[in-house]
Chains A and B, each alone.
Chain A
Amino acid sequence: MAKGEPTGLRRPNDPPVLILTSLAAGPKHGHALAKDIEEFAGVSLGPGTLYGAITRLEERGLIEPLQSDDRRRPYGITAAGSAALARVVTDMRQLADVGAARLGLTWGTLA
């Protein structure tokens, strides 16, 4: 995916960013996604919000549905999704670096 192409990713706590971050660790179905996101980000996504984001991400080719034997369909991140997440994470890191530098903080003191 070319730089500057719209991915629909905005803030770090955006449901699409959270879903991609969760799927970067491996495929998950809806409920597992929601639990993982709540654990690592403290954000509780309702079913409507979660599936709204899943729909958009699938439309943009950033995630894909995987085969499943039961009704819980797992999703996996695609190569385009990984690239989009990498770009967002890099942007976040750059922003965080600027903020930390202007505050006179070093990463070791931010805990």
Chain B
Amino acid sequence: MASLLRWYPPAWRERYGDEFTVLMEDQAGDRRPTFRVKLSVIGAGLRERGHASGLIGLQRSPGERARAGSLLVLCTWTAFVLAGASFSKLSEHFAQALPAGGQPIPRGAFDVVVGFGVLGVVLVALGAVAAVPAFVRFVGGGGWSFIRGHVLRAVILTAVTTGAVIPLGVWAHHLNAFQRNGGDGLYSAAFVGWAVLVAGTLAQWTVTGVVAARRMAFTRRVLHVEATLAVVVMVAMVVITAATALWWGAMANDAPWFLRGTATGTDPSPFNLQLVMTMTLMLTAVLVAAYGVVRVVGSWSGLTTA
């Protein structure tokens, strides 16, 4: 039963943990909690974490809610970066597959994806820069102990991921284009493993940022900046998702064989599993980011008058 309590935030466990455990023992008697009860407790624990972080309800201050919404957008941006990397790999040399004579839509859509992707990176970097003074105060005030473990894990993952690039690059150098793009099973498996490492590294840095940012004391002005940036990043994500869908549609019309990786003029099916997964990740990230923006916008007036 104690393991179920881990789904709740630490402060809640401190306040209610003991009596909650007694209640579960009273209700279960000699039996173990059923799967349904466990699921219900896990859901309740996650909701409590949502309340504690300011993602659910109105108990937290407008500043806390705006911060939570902005951090949620930051998390979804990390997922978006992974989707963008997948799209970048998938769309390599797509222009060469297009029939001669223009085809401005897929090229234009691709340029929009790249342009807004760069914009998103710049906005997230600006958000990080705006948080530097608060971060310095946080570390100076003893905050390092909260993030030391996270930073260590992130640094180790970064070192492993970066170190793996060299042998992978050397290996790729000895392969032809076909082998590099799925023709060599062993290389493909190694590449997927490296991609997982990249995803893990990004996720770990994001977790580190969130853990620190939740404890940092932002001024009202910085909170406004972060909240505004979060809204604009979400808009950029919407544009990128729409442009990716447009690119897919245009490629399906102009060069569907490219999406299937088959010879020019063959295979009219526009289905591509990697693209489906990429679009699913993008759409999910946009929906979650939209919720974050709703939290930001909903707390805006309180943030102004706080």
Contact = CB atoms under 8 A, between A and B. Distances in A.
Contacts of A29: 19, 23
A3 interface: no
B22 A51 contact: no
A111 to B, nearest CB: 32
A31 B16 CA distance: 14
B37 A73 contact: no
B19 A47 contact: no
A34 B27 contact: yes
B16 A72 contact: no
A52 B48 contact: yes
Interface in B37-86: 37, 40-45, 47-48, 51, 57-59
Given A31-B23, A73-B19, A55 B41 contact: no
Given A30-B22, A71-B22, A47 B41 contact: yes
B interface majority secondary structure: helix
A110 to B, nearest CB: 33
A30 B40 contact: no
Interface residues of A, number: 19
A43 interface: no
Interface string A31-74: 10010000000000011111110111001000000000001110
Interface string B138-162: 0000000000000000000000000
A62 to B, nearest CB: 13
B286 to A, nearest CB: 29
B18 interface: yes
A107 B22 CA distance: 42
Nearest to B18: A71
Contact of A50 (B12, B23, B42, B57): B23
Interface of A: 6, 29-31, 34, 46-52, 54-56, 59, 71-73
26 contacts: A6-B58, A29-B19, A30-B20, A30-B22, A31-B27, A34-B27, A46-B41, A46-B44, A47-B37, A47-B44, A48-B40, A48-B43, A48-B44, A49-B40, A51-B20, A51-B23, A51-B44, A52-B48, A55-B16, A55-B51, A56-B57, A71-B18, A71-B19, A71-B21, A71-B22, A72-B19
